[in-house]
Amino acid sequence: MILLFCLVATGCTPGHISITAIFLGDGHPMAVFHPCHGSRVYGVSVVESMTASGSGTSPSFGNVWDVADTDTRGDHPITEVRLLETPPGWILQTNPDSLLTAFAVDRTYRARADTTSPPAANDASVEFTLGDLRSLSDGEVWAVPKPFAQPQAMTREEFRRHAAASC
């Protein structure tokens, strides 16, 4: 009975994909996306952790930056975005009282994308600090090789291969 429950429960739980990577572009945190074939990014969010990285205590979540494409036809596709800047044709969906407006060196952030498909999979997100991004070499991004793995530096080509494999 327990085995049957586990099989049914796992079949109903959405899968996870790793399609988001972060890097510094002109000194600003940027996200690059590699959505699954036939899919597009329609939403991006960044959540701030209030616990200093490496402190070992449970994080509490702070401010959020959340944007979405206003066009259901997909006339405003993105594959890269400067975080905390709303792309043209998109709208900010965050309450002004909890809006993330700047990155701090003593905070950890989690970025993720919402995609049109596969409908049964969610972006697992990537956790980062400004220190992580500053440690990257030219051409590298900060990403997870598979859902829920530890984030690491990798080339854009490695990220593209890992993202495609997670689909």
Helix (H) / strand (E) containing 5: helix 2-12
Provide the phi-psi class of 3: left if phi over 0, else alpha when psi is between -120 and 50, else beta: alpha
Indicate the SS3 state at residue 131: helix
pTM of the model: 0.84
Token code pair at residue 153: 């530096």
Q: What is the pLDDT of residues 3-53, one digit of tens each?
A: 333 333 444 456 899 999 999 999 999 999 999 988 899 999 999 986 544
Average pLDDT value for the chain? 86
For the chain, the domains span 14-166
